Amino acid sequence: MMMRIERFPVIRPALHNILNLEKELESLFGTDTYPVAPAARHRSPLINVAESEKETVVTMELPGVSREDIKIAFEGGVLSISGERKERQLPEGARWVRNESFAGTFRRDLRLAKPVNAGAISAELKNGVLQIVVPTAEEARPREISIR
């Protein structure tokens, strides 16, 4: 089988070299234009948190993770998101050329500042992003007092 192997002369940070050395050596597929360690390879999935008066919204990047493998809990003011991204299974007779994606268990705990309505927390998994909406407790929401 003829596969073209190309390597671009690039200067990479030393850490990337160490992390990727093994992978670069076994790469036969071809070389990426930007052969640096992808930012997505994190053991803790990346999150964003934003809030309004009504709610706190947490989003977490979980590409390739199924709903059944995610656990969300709220206890003592801490929102815990844990789960597992299962190792991709190779079809029989296949071999990895490159394997950069994260696999394994993950967990992130977020202490929320405001009292929340824990019973009304909702979550949705869409296009590899988990979105959790945590409503702020009624008594903690700012309210305007009308002057009589």
Partner 1 sequence: MEKSIDVRDQQTNSDTAYDRCRIPAADVYETSDAFVLMLDLPGVVKEGISLIHEKGELKVRAVAAAGQPSDMKVLVREVRPATYSRTFTLGDGIDTESIDARFDSGVLTVKLLKSAASRSREITIN
Q: Tell me: does residue 66 bind partner 1 (CB under 8 A).
A: yes
Region for 104 from its dihedrals, namely left if φ exceeds 0, alpha if ψ lies in -120 to 50, beta otherwise: left
Residue 55 beta carbon to partner 1: minimum distance, rounded to whole angstroms:
9
- Which contiguous run of DSSP H or E holds residue 26? helix 14-26
Q: Tell me: does residue 13 bind partner 1 (CB under 8 A).
A: no
Considering the complex, state which of residue 75 and residue 148 has its C-beta at the smaller distance from partner 1.
75
Stretch binding partner 1 (CB under 8 A), from 10-18, 23-31, 68-76, 116-124? 23-31
Is residue 132 within 8 Å of residue 72, measured between CB atoms? yes
Distance CA 111, CA 121 (A): 15
Residue 5 beta carbon to partner 1: minimum distance, rounded to whole angstroms:
8
Distance CA 43, CA 61 (A): 11
Q: Tell me: does residue 62 bind partner 1 (CB under 8 A).
A: yes
- Which contiguous run of DSSP H or E holds residue 49? strand 47-51
Positions in the binding site for partner 1 (CB under 8 A): 1-6, 28-34, 36, 38-41, 43-44, 46-52, 56-57, 59, 61-66, 78, 88, 90-91, 93-102, 105-113, 125, 127-129
